[in-house]
Structure 1
Amino acid sequence: MSERAMNESNQYLSFRLAEETFAMNVAQVREILDFTTVTKVPQTPPYMRGVINLRGSVVPVLDLRLKFGMSQTENTVNSCIVVVELQEGAVVGVLTDAVQEVLDIEPDQIEPAPRLGTKLNKDFILGMGRHDDQFIMILDVDRIFCLEDVGLTGDEPELDEACNG
């Protein structure tokens, strides 16, 4: 997604990774699933936990904590897989510690991504949303998950452009 999608909706799904709160635009969220059996795929990056069967479709599941250099997400009663749709229709499952709520965050409540002080590559952050006196990192899901992450061939120029800046 980019600024275009950010301008289409002021609603963001908030979720937890370790002690941090993140959010993504609800326009890209297809559904939220309880943690389920994930089939490991050999020779994939550590952050690719495997694949799930979603009504007959194979959906890759990626561990955001590992993608961001944190420890692996543990399976708890709060663990969820957020199924998101990327540009060009690619679908991926995002493993989170817990889903919280849908927040209304107006554009004037979103600050630019910080230059320092975060372990996360700032290219993945659309901005820092203010909500109830706390900041929430609003993620650019299309930049986090690139072609190699979702098993696309490279024939999707818009997604390739999003991954490479």
Structure 2
Amino acid sequence: MMDNTVKIIIFQLNNQEYGANIHQILSIEKLQDVVALPQTSDFIKGVINLRGQVTPVIDLKKRLDMKESEHTEQTRVLIASVDENVQVGLIVDSATDVIDIDAGIIEDTPEMMNGVESTYLQGVAKLENRLLVLLDLENVLNYREIKEVKETIES
């Protein structure tokens, strides 16, 4: 009975575990040099050249209004597809695991969870001894911001 399970990638932001549906993630990359761009939103760190494709990089903590921290060897970039194949990189502290969870244990989220707006959240999964906050990566950027990201790539 595997048809009611969801594959979730687990990542860390400020020592808190978050998850996202693996279908939203194209790859997980080590953080590389990011070329800063002038006149973009403060959470858009710049662009990277990922296998010949210019990919905008977003600081996920800054986007979610979290306290920023230093990057380490564990820092990763989740490459996600948003809004009809716009590819963006999301900087996270680490990406630690991929797990299968029963879709039935995913609950709706409160309006605010750890200071993160509910529009960014897909739900909360209560696992044995931990609470996993599930982000909806497609909602991390709004229409105006997606347009800004597209313009960043095209310029």
Whether TM exceeds 0.5 here: the answer is yes
Aligned length: 147
Unaligned runs of 5+ in 2: none
Q: Deviations over 1:61-108 (max 9, x none)?
A: 000110111122422010000101123111100000010100111111
AA matched with 1:18: N
2:117 equivalent in structure 1: 121
1:4-153 aligned within 5 A: 10-150=6-146, 151-152=149-150
TM, length-normalised to structure 1? 0.82
- 2:130 corresponds to which letter in structure 1? Q
Q: Percent identity?
A: 25
SS of equivalent residue, structure 1 residue 45: coil
* Larger RCO (CA under 8 A, 6+ residues apart): 2
Superposition deviation, residue 9 in structure 1: 6.3
Give the Cα separation in 1 of the matches to 2:17 and 2:91: 14
Contact 1:9 1:27 in 2 (8 A): no
Deviations 1:9-35 (A, max 9, x none): 600101000021111110111111111
CA distance in 1: counterparts of 2:83 and 2:113, whole angstroms: 29
TM-score (norm 2): 0.87
Is the CA contact (8 Å cut-off) linking 2:6 and 2:102 kept in structure 1?
yes
In structure 2, do the counterparts of structure 1 residues 9 and 54 end up closer, same or farther at CA, with 3 Å as the change threshold?
Answer: farther
Secondary structure at the residue paired with 2:84? helix
Aligned-partner residue type, residue 152 of structure 1: K
Q: Give the SS at the match of 1:88.
A: coil
Give the number of the structure whose residues are more often strand, by fraction: 2
Over the aligned positions, Cα root-mean-square deviation in angstroms equals 1.9
Deviation sequence 1:126-152 (CA, Å, 0-9, x none): 100122321111111111123443423
CA contact (8 A) 1:127 1:139 kept: yes
Higher helix share: 1
Task: Classify 1:148/1:131 alpha carbon distance in 2 versus 1 (closer, same or farther; 3 Å).
Answer: same
> In structure 2, what is the Cα distance between the partners aligned to 1:72 and 1:142?
22
- Contact in 2 for aligned 1:23/1:139 (Cα 8 Å): yes
Q: Which amino acid aligns with 1:72?
A: E
